[in-house]
Structures are given as structure tokens and as C-alpha cells.
């Protein structure tokens, strides 16, 4: 006979997997990380989203294509079509692949890890960040965000 907690853990894991695969809501105790996609040219990147009001508001803008400008050879930025609710904090270290909101209406993709004194609202993190710098390049670039 297996312990009760093991059965509960297995059930919770199955609920979490079902919620992620089917899009259905999972049990309240399960933290679900919805995904979104970012496309640069022919390259597609999965984005794990933060659970906050800014991210939920950002998702309502999708699909969204932005002309993103390069800044300091470590980030791309673009103005959003509307302001989002911000809860900025100073992360200290910015990581390659961070997707952030600067102020209330500037979307920022970081493609280099570095220390920063600035405050941002975290929106998510781009997977496969090792390919990110090459895909974005050092020029202005068109980026599309979508849910599928």
C-alpha cells in the first residue's frame, strides 16, 4: 500500500499536466506557467510567463508584432500600444532571456546578462536564450508575440 501523500502528489501532477496540455484550469494549489511564443524571422522561442497583472494585460494584446530597437547591445525595446499595470522592482541582475516591462508601456527583451540599477516589471522568460542574441542581432528587428 502506498502512502496517501504519494497518491495526492501523483494526482496533483496529473492535474497540472492536464491543465497545461488542455488549457483547462488546474487545481488552485498548482502554479501553472502558461506559455506564449516569440518569433524573430524564422526562429520561434517559447516564453514562460510570470503570474501578474501586467502579464495578463500583455496577453490580451496578442497577437502583436513590434519593431524593436537595439539599446546598449544588450536589449531590444519597443513601445506597446497601451499602458500595462506595472509593479516594478529592481532585479539587480538582468538575465539573458528576461522579458520585462519598463515603465508602463515599454516592452524589453534582454539578450545579455548584466547588472542593472533600473526597475522593471517581470513579464516572463524566453526559453533557449542561448540562441537569442544571434536571432535578435545588433540591429532593429521585427518581433511577433503570439499564443500559438
- CATH number for the domain running over 33-146: 2.40.100.20
| Per-residue model confidence (pLDDT) at position 36 | 94
Residue 13 has which C-alpha cell? 501532477
Between CA 7 and CA 27 the distance in angstroms is 15
Between CA 13 and CA 120 the distance in angstroms is 32
Q: What is the mean pLDDT of the chain?
A: 82
Between CA 69 and CA 50 the distance in angstroms is 24
Q: How far apart are the first and last CA of the chain?
A: 43
pLDDT tens digits for range 23-40: 333 322 223 454 899 999
pLDDT at 135 over 90: yes
Is 145 exposed, middle or buried (CB count within 10 Å of its CB: 0-12, 13-18, 19+)?
buried
pLDDT tens digits for range 52-107: 999 999 999 999 999 999 999 999 999 999 999 999 999 999 999 999 999 999 99
Global pTM value: 0.76
| Per-residue model confidence (pLDDT) at position 27 | 28
Mean pLDDT, to the nearest integer, of 8-24?
34
Amino acid at each position: 500500500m502506498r502512502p496517501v501523500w504519494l497518491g495526492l502528489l501523483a494526482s496533483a501532477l496529473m492535474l497540472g499536466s492536464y491543465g497545461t496540455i488542455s488549457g483547462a484550469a488546474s487545481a488552485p494549489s498548482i502554479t501553472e506557467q502558461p506559455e506564449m511564443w516569440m518569433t524573430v524571422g524564422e526562429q520561434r522561442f517559447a516564453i514562460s510567463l510570470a503570474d501578474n497583472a501586467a502579464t495578463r494585460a500583455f496577453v490580451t494584446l496578442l497577437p502583436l508584432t513590434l519593431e524593436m530597437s537595439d539599446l546598449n547591445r544588450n536589449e531590444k525595446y519597443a513601445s506597446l500600444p497601451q499602458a500595462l499595470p506595472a509593479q516594478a522592482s529592481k532585479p539587480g541582475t538582468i538575465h539573458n532571456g528576461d522579458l520585462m516591462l519598463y515603465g508602463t508601456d515599454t516592452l524589453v527583451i534582454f539578450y545579455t546578462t548584466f547588472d542593472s540599477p533600473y526597475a522593471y516589471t517581470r513579464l516572463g522568460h524566453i526559453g533557449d536564450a542561448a540562441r537569442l542574441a544571434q536571432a535578435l542581432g545588433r540591429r532593429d528587428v521585427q518581433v511577433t508575440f503570439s499564443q500559438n
